[in-house]
Structure 1
Amino acid sequence: MFLKSLIRGAGLALLGAVMAAPVAAKTTWIMASGYPESSFFTQNIRQFIEAVETRTNGELTIDLRPNDSLIKLDAVKRAVQSGQVQLGEIRLSSYGNEAEIYNLDNIPGVASDFDQAWKLMEASKPYFDQMFGKNGMRVLSYVAWPGQGFYTQQPINSLADIKGLKLRIYSQQTQRLGAGLGAEAIILPFAEVPQAIATNMIDSLWTSAQTGTDVQAWDFLKVFTYTGTMHQKNAIIVNQRAFRQLPEEVQKIVLDEGEKATARGWRMAEAAGREREQMLADHGMILGKAPADVLARISEIGDELTEEWTQKAKPEELAVYETYRASLK
């Protein structure tokens, strides 16, 4: 009897210990993005999510809603800030009306290749950390866009070929650029491009090879003329409150995988620029390089916009630009 009681007691104690053992809480985040699955931005995010879920043994899972399927791209930052979603991907230049720092890498010629774009990112990170932190968010990753170009019906052989185009652009700076080149520049989200072409609202695009393939520009335009010019950045941002609710070891994994997504995304952006241009060609588009007078005019407009930017920027924003310029020497 004593032995049975001892065994029974040990069994109950073991059961109690098992029942009392802490079970890792599982958390699911919702993430919003404006780009389709074919985009290297989305593919990079998918790898980020897979790594986070694997390293946390499913303690944190992330439900990605891409291609504007949940929240429109321009509204993602507000959705993350308010906690409507925990994670989001944003295009920094979309918020140029909020702070001049968002406009800096959207000025032609400020960061005209990937190396310069990386140095500008490094110079900007402390300022963005502080600014997003004050607003309840945190930046996990930055990824640059490939260089820009014109999508048109006819080849661009001189500056005169741009005059009068109804040109789709995506920011105040690119609107100034288009107007300075003699085009009628119209701001439109890329998802609205096919409809705008069909209704003759626009007849040309200013964007990257990546976006051109995302909207299948070969269905309505014939020529892609590359200029380089700008390498703006997207960012993955997280709601700070949601982030702080994670266990410390999970927070570290998220931050680590965010850094890896930055390095990986930069490589993917460079590869995507080449691959997407080839895809345009494979679908029958004519590829070309911008002529000298177009590049010269773009440079002039960039200098004008940079001068204006330095006059409007806060001292702290100007310090970012000066730090960046020093890194180029």
Structure 2
Amino acid sequence: MKPIGKTCQVAVLTSALFAAPLAAQEAVNLKVVGTWGYLNTWNQVEKPFWTEELKAASNGKITVEALPMTEVGLKGFEVMRMLQLGVFDGAHGIISYLGDDPVAEGADLAGVVQTWDEAKAAVAAYEPVLAESFDKTYDAKLLGVYPFPSQLLYCNAPISGLADLKGKKIRSYSKSMSDLFTGLGATPVTIAFGEVVPALQLGTVDCAVSGTLPSYTSGWGEATTHLVRLSTGYAFSFAAVSKVSWDRMDEETRDIIASNAGAMIDRAWEIGQKDDEMGIACLTDGPCEVGDPAGLVDVALSDADRAQLADVLQATVLESFGARCGAACSATWNETIGRAVHLTIAE
């Protein structure tokens, strides 16, 4: 739990950043925090939905003061807590940042989803489970779930397949990701995103995981030599509104937000996949729309790699998650995501 001082500081800061003008306000004014302000998902999806589309759809009734978490000064794991405390009416965040909640963790287990089709099937199957969990656990109304570009592996070492990861130090940012790398014989290391490039250059880590286009624009292509097509996930993210705020809205406002959220989520999927394809092209041999190709060696998974991955998923990732999740939670996962991607947590 965060010290109360930190919570108060964030509340004061966000109040100042979101300070309303003295003029009379519209009928409904909301405060919303988004994801990373330098990424396309914020600029092309989250921000326009709240600040432009809802205002137009409501004929000016709904106005929203929205800022990305990078401008507010929050870490990803703090976003949901701020929503629960009432600092924001709405929020966007990475589901895997929700801490020790096994239901949330199950949405994006490392290595389970390897393609965009599997990603869509997994989310379609599991979103009702998440919606119920958000309502009961976080007192929040889930508007939808969407991805960022695929979370691939970048190495500053010769890698020809998954067997070469044995003994390597790899940046990880979730429990299941650490389980995956441990199962592959590697050592997971926790490092902040902004510290990855120097860590790779200094040899503190040999490999690291992040989204494709964000990695390119952050200079990872200059600090690595190989791009390994091991998808550790799609950084599935939520758009949600505090139930306190939701229940306070009139029915018309709720209907406008809910009816327009679907198009916002659809656009997030389109942007995520487009950025993924662009990121892979920019990291390898191009063409690259936003700079020079990094020229990384593009390492596709072989049949032997896929067989090894399947073994590690079953013996390490799913077994460890099942122990954290419990019998009922595991059964629900098997009936939803497991069925969609043909995997089963053993009883």
What TM-score results when the alignment is normalised by the length of structure 2?
0.78
Q: Which residue of 1 aligns with 2:30?
A: 29
Mapped contact 2:107–2:123 kept (Cα < 8 A): no
Q: Which residue of 1 aligns with 2:278?
A: 275
> How is 1:164-243 mapped onto 2 (pairs within 5 angstroms)?
164-194=167-197, 196-197=199-200, 200-243=203-246
Question: Aligned partners of 1:96, 1:302: CA distance in 2, in Å?
Answer: 21
| CA offsets 1:151-199 (integer angstroms, 9 cap, x no match) | 1223411345323332111101111112222322112342443454466
Call closer, same or farther: CA 1:194–1:58 in 2, change over 3 Å: farther
| CA offsets 1:257-276 (integer angstroms, 9 cap, x no match) | 22112222222222121111
- Which amino acid is 1:230 matched to? G
> How is 1:66-77 mapped onto 2 (pairs within 5 angstroms)?
66-70=68-72, 71-77=74-80
Verify: 1:306 aligned to 2:318, yes or no: yes
Call closer, same or farther: CA 1:285–1:27 in 2, change over 3 Å: farther
Verify: 1:289 aligned to 2:299, yes or no: yes
TM-superposed deviation, 1:78: 0.7
Question: Aligned partners of 1:327, 1:173: CA distance in 2, in Å?
Answer: 19
> How is 1:229-268 mapped onto 2 (pairs within 5 angstroms)?
229-268=232-271
Mapped contact 2:107–2:126 kept (Cα < 8 A): no
Call closer, same or farther: CA 1:316–1:106 in 2, change over 3 Å: closer
**Secondary structure at 1:202 match in 2:** coil
Call closer, same or farther: CA 1:287–1:247 in 2, change over 3 Å: farther
Call closer, same or farther: CA 1:226–1:174 in 2, change over 3 Å: same
What TM-score results when the alignment is normalised by the length of structure 1?
0.82
Q: Which residue of 2 aligns with 1:124?
A: 126
Question: Aligned partners of 2:81, 2:251: CA distance in 1, in Å?
Answer: 26
Gaps in structure 1 of 5+ consecutive residues: 1-22
Gaps in structure 2 of 5+ consecutive residues: 1-23, 285-291, 343-347
**Secondary structure at 2:152 match in 1:** strand
Mapped contact 1:168–1:206 kept (Cα < 8 A): yes
Question: Aligned partners of 2:119, 2:217: CA distance in 1, in Å?
Answer: 23
Structure of higher RCO (CA pairs closer than 8 Å, 6+ residues apart): 1
Q: Which moved more, 1:279-288 or 1:316-325?
A: 316-325
| CA offsets 1:72-126 (integer angstroms, 9 cap, x no match) | 111101111111112211111223512x222224334533222222222222222
| CA offsets 1:22-69 (integer angstroms, 9 cap, x no match) | x98443323223423333355211232221122123322223322522
- Which amino acid is 2:188 matched to? A
- Which amino acid is 1:27 matched to? V
Mapped contact 1:178–1:184 kept (Cα < 8 A): yes
Question: Aligned partners of 1:287, 1:252: CA distance in 2, in Å?
Answer: 49
Mapped contact 1:39–1:214 kept (Cα < 8 A): no
Question: Aligned partners of 1:106, 1:236: CA distance in 2, in Å?
Answer: 16
- Which amino acid is 2:335 matched to? E
Call closer, same or farther: CA 1:291–1:133 in 2, change over 3 Å: closer
Call closer, same or farther: CA 1:54–1:118 in 2, change over 3 Å: same
Q: Which residue of 2 aligns with 1:46?
A: 47
Question: Aligned partners of 1:326, 1:175: CA distance in 2, in Å?
Answer: 24
User: Sequence identity, in percent?
Assistant: 20
Q: Which residue of 2 aligns with 1:58?
A: 60
- Which amino acid is 1:179 matched to? T
Q: Which moved more, 1:191-200 or 1:238-247?
A: 191-200
